[in-house]
């Protein structure tokens, strides 16, 4: 059975001091959680200070980064490499988030390079995919997801399901207060799992975790997480508050 993963994407929020306070609160509140995996994704400058708190508390919380560059080093002002993330304590990295795709115009081929780099360095990528509102309305959801999966995972080889995580995030539901219905989420997740089986076979597809992201809150988490192909959540705004994030993690348990 796939163990749920609840991941908090802090985006461009929290100073170093604020990030450490939140990390300390979460470590204290969630020390008894063994029914789900927990991960937080602070900004780059907060990674190491948060890692200090996690280690100090001997916490069960995993630490990840929000993005990275595919090259190991070089003249890429403002970028950060996989090795830098690992040295700061990260074990996971979010790649292909819709804000990277649509604000910073990252392509599937560029994201594909990042996925390969993450895998080669031992970081676990959380690959984000999802459709725009107009694509959903015109019935192109599955077409968009297939294109993003095929492009972002081109020539990617994994031999165990724990090397990679997928996050389905309908773009129209991110930060809008809107969210896909549990039935819409399940339909998309089931379709993605079928695509993954074409890439790596049924065994990996059935064991690889697919998260839902898009305005996940304490009042809708349980209905979303109860769907058979929804293996957790990538939480945005609600992960910035210890109380709401804890409620999401404990929903349904």
Q: What is the set of active-site residues?
A: 97, 169
- 42/176 Cα distance (integer angstroms): 21
Beta-sheet pairing, 36-41 with 232-235: unpaired
Query: E strand or H helix at 89, and its extent?
Result: none
- 192/115 Cα distance (integer angstroms): 17
- 133/171 Cα distance (integer angstroms): 7
108-121 and 141-152 are packed helices; what angle lies between their axes, rounded to 10 degrees? 50
Contact by Cβ (8 Å): 112, 152:
yes
């Amino acid at each position: 059975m796939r163990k749920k993963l609840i991941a908090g994407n802090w985006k461009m929020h929290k100073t170093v001091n604020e990030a450490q306070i939140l990390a300390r609160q979460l470590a204290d509140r969630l020390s008894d959680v063994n029914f789900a995996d927990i991960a937080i994704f602070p900004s780059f400058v907060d990674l190491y200070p948060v890692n200090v708190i996690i280690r100090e508390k001997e916490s069960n919380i995993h630490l990840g980064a929000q993005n990275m560059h595919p090259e190991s080093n070089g003249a890429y002002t403002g970028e950060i490499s996989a090795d830098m993330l690992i040295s700061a304590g990260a074990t996971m990295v979010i790649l292909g988030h819709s804000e990277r795709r649509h604000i910073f115009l990252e392509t599937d081929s560029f994201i594909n390079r990042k996925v390969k780099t993450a895998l080669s360095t031992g970081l676990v990528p959380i690959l984000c995919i999802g459709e725009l509102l107009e694509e959903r309305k015109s019935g192109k959801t599955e077409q968009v997801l297939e294109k993003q999966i095929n492009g972002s995972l081109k020539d990617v080889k994994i031999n165990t399901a724990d090397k990679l995580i997928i996050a389905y995030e309908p773009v129209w539901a991110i930060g809008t207060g809107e969210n896909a219905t549990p039935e819409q989420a399940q339909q998309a997740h089931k379709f993605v799992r079928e695509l993954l089986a074409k890439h790596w076979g049924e065994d990996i597809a059935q064991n690889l975790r697919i998260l839902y992201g898009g305005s996940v809150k304490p009042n809708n988490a349980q209905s979303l997480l109860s769907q058979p192909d929804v293996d957790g959540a990538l939480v945005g705004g609600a992960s910035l508050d210890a109380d709401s994030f804890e409620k999401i993690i404990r929903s349904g348990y």
